[in-house]
Chains A and B, each alone.
Chain A
């Protein structure tokens, strides 16, 4: 039995993973969801044919999208996670005792259910009493919110799928409005490597620049994502991602991580020249 899953990264490039078994497959109203089991990557969550996460490297994504802002903002109490139906971001967030409220807006109830059942290692933490899940369109949820959150994490997988609305200027503007006066917004900012994603990357960066006074991009290495080189956006009303980093305070919290560290934090904002140029293109 020789079974391979192909994730097409571009029209001409794909990543193949040998699959042991298919654990789940069904379509919800918004998308098709598959859970595969593989020797190399462990369990793999596939949405509309694209890898959303793998057991082996999800920690990189989830740590980097969560701990970077948490080490900068001195007092995060209210957090909003848009997307994030797999539970990975929440798992990182509940490590912080000072957080009082975690709202998760995941449009697809099936995704939450499937992750709870098939990848509980990632999704288990949802039972924390601070967490509320809303099954609603993220764009609609945030429209009516004003001055309500310290941190918004946009954990949406794909600018072309059901979550397209979460990559738009109107959404970033609504997020700005939903944040307190010192709030931070983090988004996954796609990869700068392949042309199509690089274009999306620029587009997102421009839209966020037009909305937030402080807007920086940082990177991580995520092997299962197209090109493996992934970017995140740090948008903020007040705090600077490096000048306001408090390494000592963060270390004192004693949070265990496998990728993130305050030392790395400083490094990830130093971008390769071609990425700097890509971003500069839209900054002018």
Chain B
């Protein structure tokens, strides 16, 4: 076996040993190394289906790791500088929910920015905690929500000394970082835990000159989307904890909702990707940064577009900027980000991560090459040449401060009625409405519906944003709490 170093990948190695043993499977999964489902083998390849196996002694068990999964967790913890790392197979959604369920109980207060991922408020629906929202700062010309101001968090903590945790998005989808160290020291002074949604910051742990990581800043828990910038398979993720958190209790919380049939494809992809980043992450992310810098220079040379970067740093709500993120402001050429997003896909066969009302985000990662970046830049120059129009009448993304009238749990489970969206003004919403991606709710359960919100939803739908959340799939009706 040898000593446990970052060169090792215990789960991957166990799967290799398992393959050589040619074990006869009289257990699940029923496709039996693919033999029972030749079409699946044709799609995925026999290599892939042959390691789609069940938990067993030589491969350990995700619900209660004692051997190879435990070793993989230890290596991950070391690589990320955490006290403990959990391998997660329910997406970063499940990591985020486990953070909240580990810290909050019914009636507890949690301080958080409103521009969180839906998974955060979902967890509040489940556990019954009360959100105390800190309005994020907003960059008005760009129309994006920024990080949290230290002064606002201090105020929220002072006004709610009984809160149990502070939740931070770091970085945001657009690459904006908050002052994590300051937030941690304030929160810890009041005995509050700090939970960080680090879904878009995996590379901070491996690259040079990156913004500070949650673990290095002393945060208590962090959710890391290994499958985003880290290169593992979709749906795989890490949950990291610091020294002040009880690993055994967190494991119990995870097991409340996580599958007992954790996929070995996902687990081994986490294991291998962790090894890759630990050994080669620095060079790989160095190349990503160079590529993103190059793309920004070229895009800004086209004119009209604004690919922003570190010049936006203001030492507070933009404490730092993740330069691997390629966010481009498009409103000046008279096109909404979502329109550019659609044109790029429909006309130029280029799929980017998302477009909102004023910006697009192209996700660059360890798999990108210069030649594809050239295509993106050239396509953007063509989009400008062919589609540029007057920008009057274009709505910029706006942060709408929520009016919280009930907790997410109360309103979600309350008696409700379905109304056409335009007739919901003044009512309390009992479901989510969001654009996807980025999956940040426009309305969350328990929030009062205003004209501004209705206008926003109608405009976003009109511009072609993909809306999700409500029971009504066409988003023409909303569920609201029944009035007494």
Contact = CB atoms under 8 A, between A and B. Distances in A.
Interface of A: 137, 139-140, 142-144, 162, 164-165, 168-171, 173-174, 177, 210
A177 B349 CA distance: 20
Contacts of A171: 378
Contacts of A177: 385
Interface string B340-383: 00000001110000000000000000000011101101110110
A265 B455 CA distance: 61
Contacts of B370: 137
Contact of B378 (A162, A165, A210): A165
Contact of B375 (A144, A165, A210): A165
Contact of A137 (B301, B371, B381): B371
A177 B377 CA distance: 15
A142 B382 CA distance: 12
A62 B414 CA distance: 75
A204 B353 CA distance: 26
Given A169-B347, A174-B381, A139 B386 contact: no
A165 B371 contact: yes
Interface residues of B, number: 18
A173 B347 CA distance: 11
B348 A170 contact: yes
A168 B381 CA distance: 13
A83 B268 CA distance: 43
A168 B378 CA distance: 10
B251 to A, nearest CB: 47
B371 A173 contact: no
Contacts of B347: 169, 210
Nearest to A140: B374
Question: Which of B298, B372, B375, B386 counts the most A-chain CB atoms under 10 A from its CB?
Answer: B375
Contact of A174 (B371, B372, B382): B382
Contacts of A170: 348, 375, 378-379, 381-382
A163 B298 CA distance: 20
**4 closest A-B pairs (Cβ-Cβ)?**
A170-B379, A173-B382, A170-B378, A139-B374
A165 B376 CA distance: 10
Nearest to A164: B371
Nearest to A142: B378
Interface in B297-356: 298, 301-302, 347-349
B184 to A, nearest CB: 44
6 contacts: A139-B377, A140-B298, A140-B374, A142-B378, A168-B379, A174-B378
Contacts of A164: 371
Given A142-B378, A169-B347, A170-B348, 9 more contacts: A137-B371, A139-B378, A140-B378, A143-B298, A143-B302, A143-B378, A144-B301, A173-B378, A174-B381
B315 to A, nearest CB: 35
